[in-house]
Amino acid sequence: MSSDPITSVFNDGYIAEVYESYRRDPASVDESWRQFFRFAESLGGVVQAGTPAAAHAGALDAALLRKVAGAASLTDSIRAYGHLAAEIDPLGNTPAGTPELTIEFHGLTEEDLKLIPGAALGSDEPTAADVVARLRSLYSSNIGFEFDHLGEADERGWLREQIESGRVQRELTADEKKAVLRRLTEVDGLERFIGRVYQGFKRFSIEGTDMMVPMLDAAIECAAGFGAREVGIAMAHRGRINVLAHILQKPYKRIFGEFEGRHASTTAAESETGDVKYHLGFTTIRKVGDKEVTVSLVPNPSHLEFANPVLQGVARARQTLIAADKDRDEASVVPVCIHGDAAFPGEGVVAETFNMSRLRGYRVGGTLHIIANNQVGFTTDRTDARSTHYASDLAKGFEVPIVHVNAEDANACIRVMQLGVEYRAKFAKDFLVDLVGYRRHGHNETDEPAFTQPAMYTQIRSHPTPREVWGQRLSDEGLVTADEVKALDAEIASEFERIQSSASPTDGEKNGPGQAVKPTDSAEAREKPRADQLVALNEQLLVWPQTLNPNSRLAKTLKRRRDAVGEAGGIDWGHAEALAFASLLVEGTSIRISGQDVERGTFSHRQAVLHDAETGETYAPLQHLPDARGRFEIYNSPLSETAVLGFEYGFSTATRNALVLWEAQFGDFVNVAQPIIDQFIVSDRAKWGQDSSIVLLLPHGYEGQGPEHSSARLERFLQSAAENNMYVAYPSTPAQYFHVLRRQVSEKKRRPLVLMQPKSLLRLPEAASRLGDLVDGGFMTVIDDAAVESSRDQVKRLVFCTGKIYYDIIAKRTPHIAVVRVEQLYPWPSDEVERIVDLYPSVEEVVWAQEEPKNMGAWTYIAPRLRVSTGNAMIVRYVGRPERASPAEGYSSAHKIEQERIVSDVVTPMETAGGTRRRSAVTTQ
Ligand SMILES: Cc1ncc(C[n+]2csc(CCOP(=O)(O)OP(=O)(O)O)c2C)c(N)n1
C-alpha cells in the first residue's frame, strides 16, 4: 500500500529528516512522501493560523504533518480496504472490517479530520472529515472494490476516477428502476411458477441471485454500445433456466414442455441422446435500440467451470470470422462467464483459463465474469471450500479488477456490470463481479438445506426476495405503490398460467438439443493437389527473408526438403504436415495449431517458426505463401492441457472451414484434459447436436522412455468411440498423415480426429514417403502387405497391427507372414479388413500384435471386430505385453527385452511356436 512508508515510520524525528531531504531535492524521496509534503505545504495558511509551524519558512510542524499524513493514509486505506467494510451480504452478516479503516489507526481523532481542509487531500470537500465520509460512502457501501492489485497505473487511475466521480453509483432513472422491477418479477415469478407446477423437479433455482438477469440485460445493452455484435455466455446449472428464458428468450412454453417430458426428437442418423434441461445451450437475437446482438449460451456439462475455456475458443473464432479483413475484432464478441462461489476457487481450469486471457494465441479482449455467490457449495460452507477471504481472490493474481456487490441492490448491480463492460472496452481485459446473494432452497429444490446449514436457512426463510426488496425501495421512493408491486406480480403469474395451459403437446419437440454455436461458414469441395503444385509450395516453404539467418543446422535440415520431393524421396512427418498445411492454405482453409512447444515441435520435427540465430526475430513460411487464401496460426500454448484443449475445441465448434489442431507434448498428458474429451469432444453431438472437427495429435509409441512418455491411452479413445462420434487413427507413414489431415476438412460430417502420432518414427527412413504417395490416392484405412503381393497364397500367418510396431515387425519378418496395418481404428474399416483377409487363401492363423499391455492399446476393442471381419473362422492370437498396471517399463533395458520378445512372438514360424490355431494362454477370441 502506498501509505505504508508513511504510516509504518510514524516518527516525528524521522519525518523531519525526510522533509529535509525533500526540501533539498524532492526527487530524493519516495512519491508518497512527495505527495504528503505537498499536502502539508498546501496547508500553509492553516498551519500559520492554527499551529506554531511555519510551512513556508521551511520549518513545518512535525505534529501537524503527522495528522495530514494520517488523513492521507486513512483515505488510501479506504480506497484499498474499504471493501472489507462494505455491506455486500444481503443476509446482513457483519463485514470483516480492518483496523486500517479506523481513524485511530492513523493517529487521528474525528476533531483532527475536521481541522484539515479537504484541499489538503486534493478534494473540493470542505474538510478531511467530509472527504473521509464521502470515500466511505463510495468504497464501503453496497459495493466493495478491489483494484489495488492491478499492475497498470492508468487502469487504477481510471477505476478510481469512475468511482470517485460518482459515476458508478449514479442512480438509475425512474423508468429504468421500474423496468428492473418488472424483470425481477418475471425472474422470481418463473421460479415460483415452476416450483409450484413441477414439484419434485430439479431446476437449480436462481432465487437469491436473481439480479444476475438484469445484470446480463445491462451487460448486453452496454456491450452493444461499445460495438458488440455478439455476446457469448458460459454458465453452470444455477439459474440457467431463468437465463435461458429471459436472456436467451427461450420461449416459456418450450421450457414448460421440457418439464413435461417433451424433448427433442431424434433427427440425425446417429441418435441424439440429449441432455438435462439445465445444461442446454441456446442462441437468440436481441434488439438493442437499432442494433441487433446475437446472444448465445454455450451448452454445459455437469463438470463445473469446464465450459469457460470452450467459450473463449468460440469467442476467438467468432472474433476472427467477423473481423474479415483485419486479424480479429475483439469488440465484436463479448464473452461472459458465470461461476459458482465454490467452483471458482476450487476448479483448476478457472486459473488455467485466466492464465490464457492475455496471451496472443488465446486473448479475446477480456471476459466479463460474474460469481453467482450464494455463499454455499451444495452443502459445503465457505470455510471448507476455500483458503481465501473472498471466493474471487484467485482472479487477483491475474490483475483482474474485482467488484463485490450486494445482490439486493439493483442499482449497484447494474452499475458495476456497466463498469465492467466499459473497462473491457477500454483496456481489453477481464473484469469480475462477485455477486453476493444467497440460495433460497437447497442445492436443488428437493434437498433440505436445514440439514447442513440450519442457521443460514433460518435467516433465509424469513428474508424477503430481491423482488420484494426492490419493490419496497421503489415504493419508499414513491415510484410505485405497494399495490402496484403486487398487481405486477399477479399479472406475470397469470401470464405463466396462460402459457402453460395453452401449450401444445408437441412444443417441447421443436426444441432441438440446444446447439448454441452454429458454424456459419461451410466446407468446400476440393481437388487433390498435383505434384507440380506441391513442389512449388515446397519451394515457397523454403524461402525466408535474406535478412533472417536461421540456425545453420536447421537451415541445412530444412533445405533437404528440396531433395525429398524429388527422385531421392524421404518426405518425413514434419515435411508431410507442412505440405498438407500449405496445400490447404492455398485452397482457402485456415489452420490453427496450438499446444506446448508446437512451433518447433516437441521432437524438433515441425520447425514452423524460424528464429534468426542472432536477433531471435521470427518468420513462419506458412504465413507467407503467395497464394494462400487461408490464415495460418500457430501458438506455443501455456503449460495447460485442460483449458487449452477446451479452447481449441470451442474454436473448432464455431468455425467450419478451418483445420484446428491441438498437439500434446507427449500423448500421456492428454489425460489431464479428460473432462474436455469425455464431456465435450466425444459426446457433444449426442448430448447437444454440436459438432467439432478438432484434431488431437498425441505422440504415442513404446521406445523405452518410461511409463509417462509412451502411451496416449489409445484404449480410452476406443472405449469412447460410438455412433460415429469421431475418427481414431494411427497413421504409419507421412503420406498417410498428409492424407488424413486433408480428409479432415473435406468430410461433410464434421467429427473430431484423434491421431496417435509417432516419435522415433518421425524421421525413420523406412517410414518416409515420396511425392507420389502424397499425390496419388488418399487416406487408406487399412494397408495391405505389399511385400507379399505376389505370394499371398503362401501366407500362413496374417498379422494385423497398428502404428509403429509395424516397422519393428517387418525388420524381422520371416517367410509366410503378411503384416497388415490398420490405420484407422474407428470407425472400424470392416469392409476393407474383410477384403484383405479374402486375399489370403492359405492363412492358418490371425495375429493381433501390439506393443501396449493387453489391457491397454487396441486389443480389447480389436478382438471381437477382427474375429467378425475374419469370418469367425479363426482364433485371433494376441501378441503384446501382458496385462499391466503401468503402461510401460521404466528401464530402457527392460523395454528392449519386452519389445524383442513381442516381435519374436509375431515372427516365429508356426512349427516352432507349436500350432497356434488352438487356444492358448495368450489367445483370446
Ligand atoms: C467438477 C465437478 N465436481 C463436482 C460437481 C458436483 N456439484 C454440482 S453443484 C456443486 C456445488 C457447486 O457450488 P457452487 O460453485 O457454489 O455453485 P452453486 O451450486 O452453489 O450455485 C457440486 C459440488 C460438479 N458438478 N462438477
C-beta 436 within 6 A of ligand 1:
no
C-beta 238 within 6 A of ligand 1:
yes
What is the 3-class SS of 522-579, one letter each residue? CCCCCCCCCHHHHHHHHHHHCCCCCCCCECHHHHHHHHHHHHHCCCCCCECHHHHHHH
Residue closest by Cα to atom 17 of ligand 1? 340
Distance 300 CA to ligand 1 centre (A): 13
Residue 720: how many CB atoms within 10 A of its CB? 17
C-beta 305 within 6 A of ligand 1:
no
By the 8 A CB rule, do 405 and 416 touch? yes
DSSP for 206-255 reads -TT-TTHHHHHHHHHHHHHHTT-SEEEEE--STTHHHHHHHTS---HHHH
Residue bearing cell 465520509: 133
**Cα(74)–Cα(100) distance, rounded to whole angstroms?**
7
CA 453 to chain centre: 33
pLDDT level of residue 925 (50, 70, 90 thresholds): very low
Residue ranges in 108-152 assigned as alpha helix (H): 110-115, 128-139
**Cα(778)–Cα(527) distance, rounded to whole angstroms?**
11
Distance 344 CA to ligand 1 centre (A): 10
Percent of the chain clearing pLDDT 90 (strictly above): 81
**Cα(804)–Cα(783) distance, rounded to whole angstroms?**
13
pLDDT level of residue 60 (50, 70, 90 thresholds): low
> Which amino acid is present at 902?
I
Three-state DSSP state, 372? strand
Of 726, 704, 707, the residue nearest 717 (C-alpha): 726
- Ligand 1: nearest atom to the Cα of 343: 15
C-beta 374 within 6 A of ligand 1:
yes
DSSP for 469-491 reads HHHHHHHHTTSS-HHHHHHHHHH
Q: 340-359: per-residue pLDDT in tens?
A: 999 999 999 999 999 999 99
Strand order in the sheet with 817-822: 782-783, 817-822, 797-801, 845-853, 876-881, 923-924
Average pLDDT over the chain reads 91
C-beta 676 within 6 A of ligand 1:
no
Mean pLDDT is lowest, of 29-43, 192-206, 322-336, 801-815, for 29-43
C-beta 314 within 6 A of ligand 1:
no
C-beta 378 within 6 A of ligand 1:
yes
**Cα(816)–Cα(796) distance, rounded to whole angstroms?**
5
All residues at 6 or more sequence positions from 874 whose CB lies less than 8 Å from its CB, including other chains: 843, 845, 846, 867, 917
Cell of 676: 474436455
**Cα(70)–Cα(6) distance, rounded to whole angstroms?**
8
Q: pLDDT at position 916, please?
A: 41
By the 8 A CB rule, do 600 and 609 touch? yes
**Cα(125)–Cα(117) distance, rounded to whole angstroms?**
8
Measured at the CA of 758, the angle between CA 753 and CA 760, to 5 degrees, comes to 175
C-beta 343 within 6 A of ligand 1:
yes
Residue closest by Cα to atom 10 of ligand 1? 378
Distance 237 CA to ligand 1 centre (A): 9
C-beta 341 within 6 A of ligand 1:
yes
Which one-letter DSSP state was computed for residue 521?
S
Cell of 421: 463492460
C-alpha separations of 832 from 39, 337, 393 in Å: 86, 47, 57
By the 8 A CB rule, do 750 and 656 touch? yes
Distance 220 CA to ligand 1 centre (A): 26
Distance 306 CA to ligand 1 centre (A): 12
Three-state DSSP state, 599? coil
Q: pLDDT at position 262, please?
A: 78
Residue bearing cell 427461450: 250
Cell of 739: 492424407
Cell of 292: 441487433
**First vs last C-alpha separation in the chain:** 72
Distance 301 CA to ligand 1 centre (A): 11
Residue closest by Cα to atom 2 of ligand 1? 303
Above 60 in pLDDT, residue 520? no
All residues at 6 or more sequence positions from 492 whose CB lies less than 8 Å from its CB, including other chains: 182, 185, 186, 189
Which of 243, 304, 438 to mutate to test ligand 1, by most ligand atoms within 8 A of the CB atom?
A: 304
Q: pLDDT at position 6, please?
A: 42
C-beta 682 within 6 A of ligand 1:
no
Of 744, 698, 765, 753, the residue nearest 580 (C-alpha): 744
- Ligand 1: nearest atom to the Cα of 209: 21
Which tops the pLDDT comparison, 760 or 430? Answer: 430
pTM equals 0.92
- Ligand 1: nearest atom to the Cα of 347: 1
CA neighbours closer than 13 Å in the CB half-sphere of residue 42:
16
> Which amino acid is present at 402?
I
Residue bearing cell 422470481: 188
C-alpha separations of 737 from 500, 507, 562, 668 in Å: 55, 47, 19, 20
Of 150, 159, 63, 145, the residue nearest 107 (C-alpha): 63
Measured at the CA of 918, the angle between CA 912 and CA 920, to 5 degrees, comes to 80
Residue bearing cell 527392460: 894
C-beta 303 within 6 A of ligand 1:
yes
Q: pLDDT at position 27, please?
A: 83
Q: 700-756: per-residue pLDDT in tens?
A: 999 999 999 999 999 999 999 999 999 999 999 999 999 999 999 988 889 999 999
Of 43, 131, 142, 132, the residue nearest 85 (C-alpha): 142
Above 50 in pLDDT, residue 51? no
Distance 444 CA to ligand 1 centre (A): 11
Residue closest by Cα to atom 13 of ligand 1? 377
Distance 378 CA to ligand 1 centre (A): 6
pLDDT level of residue 148 (50, 70, 90 thresholds): very high
pLDDT level of residue 324 (50, 70, 90 thresholds): confident
**Cα(839)–Cα(833) distance, rounded to whole angstroms?**
10
By the 8 A CB rule, do 283 and 511 touch? no
Q: pLDDT at position 748, please?
A: 80
Distance 510 CA to ligand 1 centre (A): 30
List the beta bridge partners of residue 283: 296
Distance 872 CA to ligand 1 centre (A): 49
H or E segment at 638? none
Mean pLDDT is lowest, of 29-43, 402-416, 418-432, 474-488, for 29-43
pLDDT level of residue 206 (50, 70, 90 thresholds): very high
C-beta 340 within 6 A of ligand 1:
yes
DSSP for 378-435 reads TTB-HHHH-SSSSTTGGGGGGT--EEEEETT-HHHHHHHHHHHHHHHHHH---EEEEE
Of 181, 242, 94, the residue nearest 410 (C-alpha): 181
- Ligand 1: nearest atom to the Cα of 238: 21
Strand order in the sheet with 431-436: 143-146, 402-406, 431-436, 368-373, 333-340, 230-234, 291-297, 282-288
Residue 241: how many CB atoms within 10 A of its CB? 24
Among 16-20, 388-392, 524-528, 556-560, name the most confident range.
Answer: 388-392
Above 70 in pLDDT, residue 923? no
Q: Are strands 291-297 and 282-288 parallel, antiparallel or unpaired?
A: antiparallel
**Cα(181)–Cα(184) distance, rounded to whole angstroms?**
5
Distance 381 CA to ligand 1 centre (A): 12
Break the chain down into helix, strand, coil percent, rounded to 5.
45, 15, 40
Above 50 in pLDDT, residue 776? yes
Average pLDDT over residues 95-101: 97
Residue closest by Cα to atom 23 of ligand 1? 378
Residue closest by Cα to atom 12 of ligand 1? 377
Q: 563-578: per-residue pLDDT in tens?
A: 999 998 999 999 999 9
**Cα(75)–Cα(81) distance, rounded to whole angstroms?**
10
